Amino acid sequence: MVNRISVEDFNKLNGSFFKTNKKDTRKSREKELEDLWRELIKLRVGYKCEYPNCPKTEHLNSHHIYSRIHKSTKYDPDNGMCLCAGHHTLTSLSAHHDPDFKEIIIKNGIRTAEFYQKLKMRAFTPAKIDINLIKLDLENELRKYSK
């Protein structure tokens, strides 16, 4: 079953973002960005694992292709892949453990080699993070897929 975010939950995510209380620190705002990013990565593929021929639609994770330590691509939708827990971290065939993971993804046409090259350039190019702009972009993307 496809389990999409409801309009109500989406608005709740939004509403809490602009509250001006002590919790409204940069850290908590970035946490909300990460939540929006994680939801978008799953939503845009219809809540299924992107690994070739994997039927899993539950226990899904939003995988960062380039690590979250790269600020410039931390909230970039291109840097995300929806994977089941097994293909994310738990098995020897997972993104975090299989040295050939990227090659398998390319070979099966899930992403292209060119895509990875461009993403790598962005990941390793330092960029200043504009939280408000990123939030708007993620919200627009989410809206696109929520219809």
Binding site for Zn ion (CB under 5 A): 49, 51, 54, 56, 84, 87
The least CB distance from residue 19 to Zn ion, in Å, is 37
Cβ neighbours around 136 below 10 Å, total: 11
Give the up-direction half-sphere exposure of residue 103: CA atoms within 13 A in the CB hemisphere: 4
Q: Which is nearer to Zn ion, 5 or 90 (CB)?
A: 90
The least CB distance from residue 70 to Zn ion, in Å, is 24
CA 119 to chain centroid, in Å, comes to 14
Q: Which is nearer to Zn ion, 29 or 56 (CB)?
A: 56
Q: Which is nearer to Zn ion, 93 or 131 (CB)?
A: 93
The Cα–Cα gap between 140 and 147 comes to: 12
